[in-house]
Amino acid sequence: MHICNFFCTFAAIFMKYLSYISTTLLGVMFLVSAFAKAWDAEAFADMLLLYGPEWFSIGAPVIIFIEAIMGMLLLLRVRPQWSTIAAVAFLVTVSVIFAYGVAFKGIQDCGCFGALSRLYTGKPWMTFVRNAVFCLIAVPALITKNPSDTHLSPKLMAAMLVGAAACFICGLSMRKSFVLPQWDTVKTDSRSESMRKLNAIYPFSADSSYVVYLFSFTCAHCQNSFANLQQYHQLQVVDKVIGIAIENEEAKERFYRIYKPEIDIFTIPNDSMANITGSLPVALLIKGDSIHKVESGSVTSPGIFLP
């Protein structure tokens, strides 16, 4: 009898700790996902447009807010069972939506971690496996009973403040659709180092001008900007337009079949791309042997540069 009680007590304590680990891992995942998207909310909004009509982009700040709140509720263990149920329901919902995008819209990048996923080269099935793993991680928190929370109000207030912070960052990174993006000047101290790395990929001529597009074949927002990029070549705004993409032969074949590139595209390993830029897509305006302008997240139509 004493042994039975011992094992029951041990099992209860063990499940309690597993529940804490479960909600912590889920909470961190949701917070990272929320703030990574908020850092470049416009790119996430562009990705949502691939699923349907223009108003879908409104979902970007809403999803970011929900993920930030959910992450804090899990980390602070606010009604952990109910918070975990909501987290699992959210993961299942976004998995179903992404499955629709893969099957009917040709979407390959879920955009789950915003700017952090720009260098992501995995296949769509990896997203489903990852979400399934997080659902399994949630099991201890789902089956463990918890005592009533005596600090509910302060925790809810903290969660709301973090959600508001995510929305604030989201607002800073969003642009209104009628505002044309501009080419921003590259910091002087980064020009020479970036050019050194780019010259190892392509021999730039000192008396020519270029637009260089850094992207991934699996990145939805990279694909979204590719038509504008090709216009730089078609309208001869610069002497030459080239693309530099992350190596992925299967995705490359699909990309060429759908978009039929008219420009030269060079491929480099993921690590090499990460050494050049921490986000994708990025367009560089190069004159001679130096970078003059840079644009990230989207590519401006060349029409605004023409007389």
Highest mean pLDDT among 22-36, 55-69, 104-118, 192-206: 22-36
Name the percent of the chain lying above pLDDT 70: 76
- Rounded to whole angstroms, the Cα distance separating 1 from 281 reads 65
3-state SS assignment for residue 285? strand
Q: Are residues 212 and 112 in the same domain?
A: no
In a domain, 157, yes or no: yes
CA 28 → CA 36, 64, 73, distances in Å?
12, 14, 11
294 lies in which domain range?
A: 184-305
Q: Which two tokens stand for residue 218?
A: 């699996």
Residue 118 covered by a domain: yes
Most confident of 47-51, 72-76, 104-108, 124-128: 72-76
Average pLDDT for residues 97-114, to the nearest whole number?
74
Number of domains comprising the chain: 2
Tell me the pLDDT band of 232, cut-offs 50, 70 and 90.
Answer: confident
- Assess whether 157 and 38 both reside in one domain: yes
Residues 41 and 165 grouped into a single domain:
yes
User: Per-residue pLDDT averaged across 144-166, rounded?
Assistant: 80
User: Contact 26/74 with Cβ under 8 angstroms?
Assistant: yes
pTM score > 0.85 for this model? Answer: no
Judge if 200 and 107 occupy the same domain.
Answer: no
Q: Is residue 198 part of a domain?
A: yes
Average pLDDT, the chain: 78
Tell me whether residue 179 is in a domain.
no
Residue 225 has, within 13 A of its CA and on its CB side, a CA count of 29
On whether the CB atoms of residues 305 and 292 are closer than 8 A, the answer is no
- Is residue 280 in some structural domain? yes
Comparison of pLDDT for 134 and 250, the residue scoring more:
134
pLDDT tens, 253-275? 888 988 899 999 999 988 788 77
Query: Tokens in use for 26?
Result: 């889920």
113, 148, 173: which is the final residue of a domain?
Answer: 173
pLDDT at 305: 60
* Chain centroid to CA 252: 20
pLDDT(242) > 90: yes
